[in-house]
Amino acid sequence: MLSLQHISKFYQVGGTRNFVINDISLEVEAGEFISIMGPSGSGKSTLLNIIGMLDEPSSGYHYFVGETVHQLKDKQRSALYKKYIGFVFQAYHLIDELTVYENIETPLIYQDFKSTERKAMVADMLDRFQIVGKKDLFPAQLSGGQQQLVGIARALIAGPKLLLADEPTGNLNSKQGEEIMQLFKKLNKEDGVTIIQVTHSEKNAEYGSRIINLLDGRIESSKQL
């Protein structure tokens, strides 16, 4: 599904290159659940952003669902991204001015779904996450766990093949975190969504099928569970 070959990301500082990602090659098959770990500054988030096409590598080759990403134009990349990828953030990043319902609906608007279709899809998603009762609340009225639930619902609404999560439980207490991880596992198993998550937690990492350890921009180890 996804293939990174010799991907590097660096910043030119004076005469020297500061590598954030240093020659990483990675293959991801559909249906995998990968956890990326590593200390702060090891390049986890940057790698995730490159996979999610929100950031561009300085060099290397990037293939995704058969497309040569590094050769695509911005627009095509954006179209590809819209169609296949969903994003979950540590800080949830819900739009404060929109209700739960509207937040979940927003990606559909950008993908030009018709109003009736949107209604059905959002209703379905609210039902599935059991947050129907909260659909008219604003993010500020929800707990952190609930907000992240909405964030995941929003990421999944358009039916992505790949879910990227940047420390999705980082702002949650352990119980809420566990619920989210259970949800991820279920999504991966039952719906076949490929998941790549960045995490600090050893325990959360073990929900995945593979753990990749980064250090100073390189893959230090990779372990199949």
Partner 1 sequence: MIRNYIKTAFRSLQKNKGFTTINVLGLALGLATCLLIVFYVVDELSYDKYNVNASRIYRVNEDLKLGDNKVQYAVCMAPLAQTLKNDFPDVENAVRLKRISGMHVTKGTESIIEDNVLFADPSVFDVFTLPVIYGDKKTALIEPNTVVITEAMAKKYFGRLNVVGENLIIDGNLQKPIKVTAVIKNIPEQSHFHADFLLSMSSYPDSRSTEWLRSDYNTYVLMRKGADYKKLEAQFPQFLRKYSGGQMQQELNMSYDTFEKNGSFFRLNMMPLTDIHLHSNLTVTGELGINGNIEYVYIFSAIAIFILLIACVNFMNLSTARSANRAREVGVRKVLGSARKHLMFQFLAESTMVTFIAVIIALAAAMLVLPAFNHFAGKNIVVNSHTLIWLAPSALIAILLIGFLAGLYPAFFLSAFNPMQVLKGKISAGFKGGALRSFLVVFQFSISIFLIIGTLVIYNQLHYIQNRDLGYNRNQVLIIEHAFELGDHAKTFKQEIKQLPGVTNATLSGYLPTTSNRSTGIFYKEAAVDPKRSLFPQIWSVDEDYISTLAMKIKSGRDFSAQMPSDSNAIVINEAAAKFLGFTDPVNKIIFRSSGGPNPTYKPYTIIGMVKDFNFSSLRDNISPVVMQLNADNSSLSIKVNTANIPALLSQIEAKWKDFTPVHFQYTFMDQDFDAMYRSEQRIGTIFIAFTTLAIVIACLGLFGLAAYAAEQRTKEIGIRKVLGASIATIAGMLSLDFIKLVCISILIASPIAWYLMQKWLQDFAYRIGIGWWVFAIAGVAALFIAFITISFQSIKAAIANPVTSLRSE
Shorter beta-carbon distance to partner 1: residue 68 or 111? 111
Whole-number Å distance between alpha carbons of 5 and 68: 11
Cβ at position 172, least distance to partner 1 in Å = 18
Burial class of residue 10, CB neighbours in 10 A (0-12, 13-18, 19+): middle
Cβ at position 156, least distance to partner 1 in Å = 12
Shorter beta-carbon distance to partner 1: residue 83 or 128? 83
Residues that bind partner 1 (CB under 8 A): 49, 54-55, 78, 81-82, 87, 89, 91, 93-98, 102, 105-107, 109-111, 154, 158
Cβ at position 55, least distance to partner 1 in Å = 6
Shorter beta-carbon distance to partner 1: residue 8 or 106? 106
Whole-number Å distance between alpha carbons of 206 and 12: 36
Shorter beta-carbon distance to partner 1: residue 126 or 155? 155
Determine the length of the chain: 225
Shorter beta-carbon distance to partner 1: residue 38 or 52? 52
Cβ at position 208, least distance to partner 1 in Å = 22
Q: Which of 144, 78, 135 is nearest to 104 (CA)?
A: 135
Which strands sit side by side in the sheet containing 218-224, from one edge to the other?
A: 85-88, 162-166, 194-198, 33-37, 210-215, 218-224
Cβ at position 122, least distance to partner 1 in Å = 12
Contacts of residue 172, Cβ cutoff 8 Å, sequence gap at least 6? 144, 145, 148, 180
Shorter beta-carbon distance to partner 1: residue 11 or 29? 11
Cβ-contact 58, 23 below 8 angstroms: no
Cβ at position 5, least distance to partner 1 in Å = 22
Whole-number Å distance between alpha carbons of 177 and 163: 17
